[in-house]
Chain A
Amino acid sequence: MTLQQIFVFAALGLLAGRAYGRISRPWLLFAASVLAVFWLQPAALVRGFDFWLPAASLGLAALVWALTLPPDARPSREDKLAAAALAAGALLLAATRYLGTPILTASRPPQVELVAALAAVLALLAWLAARSLRGRAAALGAATLAVLAILVALKAEPLARGLNAALRSLSGQDPALATALDLNWLGFSYIAFRLVHALRDRAAGRLAHYSLRDFVTYIVFFPALTAGPIERVERFVPQLHASFLLGAAELQAAGRRLVTGLFMKFVLADALAYFALNPALAAETTSTLWMWLLLIAYAWRIFFDFAGYTHIAIGLGLLFGVRLPENFARPYSQPNLTAFWNSWHITLAQWFRAYFFNPLTRFLRTHNWPVWAVVLVGQVSTMALIGLWHGITWNFLIWGLWHGVGLFVHSQFAAARKGRPAPAAWQHAFSVFATFIYVALGWVWFVLPQPAQALQVLRVLLGLS
């Protein structure tokens, strides 16, 4: 989100806060989120895709909603109204192509007829899903795999390039110019996890019945669209229906989070970005001392950037009466890696714990694996997947493994120390320092795409080069 977009959302929150007696907050948030998903989408290099990608986000949300309807639920009048609003919104946006200048989309939207045809196809698919496939384990499993397949296609460089080449061909552009970055599908990493959460909870019979309007709002809620946090639907939707009035206390809380977030993101993180470690600086720096400074600058830069966005998302959410979950809790003050991962990108770690680590370790335990092996496999594979979620490349995989191994070693160390007295203050301080250094060294793998360069930087950091 740009500063301008944040201010527009904040202004909308302030204005709407005075009007909830006259307008419906769930409908307002639905409309704002649907429009914002188009407005926030950056320009795509494949023609028309800064329209099609947000449209696909909404289409996927609608399809998954249809698939996850409880067996006894029937689409209500409100659901039909929400579906009509989605279609009308897409068609109206497409019609702005005749105004000459794009209004909400980054470039001229595609033809209205094409949008209408695809909206009709989507409606038919949703109807079929709701009628014949909903709740079926196979359909839910297939849908989960499909969502994950899209995520993999976007994150794996060769697949993304191939996909972009194919899409370029379809849109009459030169496929030879395709790169992996042509499609910047805003927020899909988070959208995918919300969709998978709904699909898996439906398969487990845990998902309640939500209206299409509320479900779509949950999937593309604009404060959390670009960088999370990953809210759970059963916590999110009831907040839409709770009574809410934007009073002084709410405004003060929201304002504090917004100001903190803006300062972290646009002052601290953006300032540190000037000299935070990056591939160019890594190649040009030979001094151990300066390399440490660049690395520490990167560690704080990524924290302020991400935590700043989270503050902004929470602050905007509070303006609209939605309290999004915390994502950071002083991660660099933690005395061990386990505590670090309980306080860094908390909602992502919780998602992986719920949908990967717990099922996997349960499976391994029921197959009589020794405890240490269950922990090792569970933690290393979970962290490897968290690494790959950032991008399917060697450096992210190594970063994940770095943390996975670190978590395993800490778990064994903690088990061995069980029952001993609490550490002294100096021991605690040393643990915090050592944890920070371990995490900071891990960032070397994260920030440098080439593992060979990362190794070279580690050599410089350790004074071996």
Chain B
Amino acid sequence: MDTHTISPLRLLLKAVLLFLGLNLLCATLSPMPALGQLSLYNNLLPGRQRLPYGDDPQRSYNLNLYSIEAMFASHVLTGAPKPADEFRVFVIGDSSVWGFLLENDDTLSAALNAASLHSADGRRVVFYNLGHPTISLTKDLMLFDAAMQYQPDLVLWPTTLEAFPWGKQLASPLAQNNPQRVTALAERYQLPLAVPAETRSPFASLFFVHQRRNLADMLRLQLYGFAWAATGIDVHIPAEYERHAVDLEPDESYAGLEPQLERDELAFEVLAAGIQRAANVPVLIINEPVFASDGANSHIRYNSFYPRWAYDSYRSLLAAEAETQGWQYVDLWQAADNGEFTNTPIHLTPQGTLQFAYAIIETLSSQFDLNP
């Protein structure tokens, strides 16, 4: 028997030194963006039809993560160079674009693709779902900024009042967890976004301590890819869910704002930044459908999201801003029947999504010469 004894203290010291050294190396190299681009998707696995998002990963084979690189690397958009015969349209926005409670085949992008549109020069129009289920124009801008390298020919930007208040711009976890990206956008476009300074203990700033969640999420995204590829499922739709409210509270408040809404209370500058970022690529801003209640207190509110005064002011302000700035804008707030909303006043059923898509197609036909 080898009787050479081991010093636990020395063992521990070596382990700590190795850990610190590896952390230092990783902190110096900043490998997270590069790691995020490593993906089985579009290689061994098919790319996803929409950006990763899932509150119930074990049933949706999908999950929430904050690495924009990993999110895009998993999307079918990034799988191959843009074909010459493709007229590429990005659809950005919130959960109603992403397709909350909708199968992949029932999302807005899928409905638009089903119309088999062609551009005037004969290219087939392909719509890409780049929605993400949190409501914030800044979050939309951040994703749009990352997506621009994939050469869109047109951008559809459905949105709603909830995305506009300045106070809600950084409420999206995706924005909160990408402070460098938000700060860069704020600086580039002079946006008054106060990104909170990171407050971490020295220990928490160690690479593996700080990035362990991101690393684990990136790995889990790859692993869930197999189940996604096997089943085609990327969303869990419960058999029963609570429908949106029809009878409403007699509450006139909205986001701490007072009637009438003032232009400066809404983040039009973020919208303008997006259009500036698009440069020569046209952007169609769309006021997306919302439920308009005829139940209790419907004279005060349209729905559980919006009091009438706030939503009416917002529509007027957005239309006026679009006209002043020369933006292409269409107001489709009533494009879906009232019976076609699901769990919130903005989430649509497959039929409601089709109605919304038809309304968009009319605009695309008249304003962009995209036709079946």
| B-binding residues in A (CB < 8 A) | 11, 14-15, 17-18, 245-251, 271, 274-275, 280-281, 284-285, 287, 290-291, 293-294, 297
Contacts and interface: CB of A to CB of B under 8 A. Distances in A.
Closest 6 CB pairs of A and B: A275-B226, A249-B2, A274-B223, A290-B230, A284-B231, A247-B2
Interface in B19-56: none
Contact of B6 (A247, A287, A294): A247
B11 interface: yes
A374 B247 CA distance: 75
B59 interface: yes
B226 A14 contact: no
B309 to A, nearest CB: 47
A285 B6 CA distance: 52
B5 interface: yes
Nearest to B229: A290
A248 B227 contact: no
Select the residue from A17, A275, A284 with max chain B CB neighbours within 10 A: A275
Contact of B230 (A247, A250, A284): A284
Given A18-B8, A245-B5, A247-B2, A284 B226 contact: no
A290 B233 CA distance: 14
Contacts of B189: none
Given A249-B1, A280-B59, A271 B226 contact: no
A248 B3 CA distance: 7
Interface in B101-135: none
B105 to A, nearest CB: 15
B1 A247 contact: yes
Contacts of B11: 14
A275 B1 contact: no
Contacts of A280: 59
Contacts of B243: none
Interface in B227-267: 227, 229-231, 233
Q: Which of A245, A250, A274, A294 has the largest count of B CB atoms less than 10 A from its CB?
A: A274
B224 interface: yes
Contacts of A297: 226
B8 A285 contact: no
Interface residues of B, number: 19
Contacts of A274: 220, 223-224, 226-227
> At the interface, is chain B mostly helix, strand, loop or mixed?
helix
B188 interface: no
B59, B224, B227 interface centre (most CB from chain A within 10 Å):
B227
Nearest to A280: B59
Nearest to A17: B6
B4 interface: yes
Given A281-B231, A284-B231, 11 more contacts: A18-B5, A245-B5, A246-B6, A247-B1, A247-B4, A248-B2, A249-B4, A275-B224, A275-B230, A291-B230, A294-B230
A285 B226 CA distance: 11
A308 to B, nearest CB: 17
A293 B44 CA distance: 13
Interface string B206-230: 0000000000000110011011011
Given A281-B231, A293-B230, A294-B230, A251 B223 contact: no
B231 A247 contact: no
A274 B54 CA distance: 15
A281 B59 CA distance: 9
A275 B5 contact: no
Contacts of A18: 5-6, 8
A15 B224 CA distance: 41
Given A247-B1, A248-B6, A285 B223 contact: no
A284 B59 CA distance: 11
22 contacts: A14-B6, A14-B8, A18-B5, A18-B6, A18-B8, A246-B5, A247-B3, A247-B4, A248-B6, A250-B2, A274-B227, A275-B227, A280-B59, A281-B227, A281-B231, A284-B230, A285-B231, A290-B229, A290-B230, A290-B231, A293-B226, A294-B230
Interface string B1-18: 111111010010000000
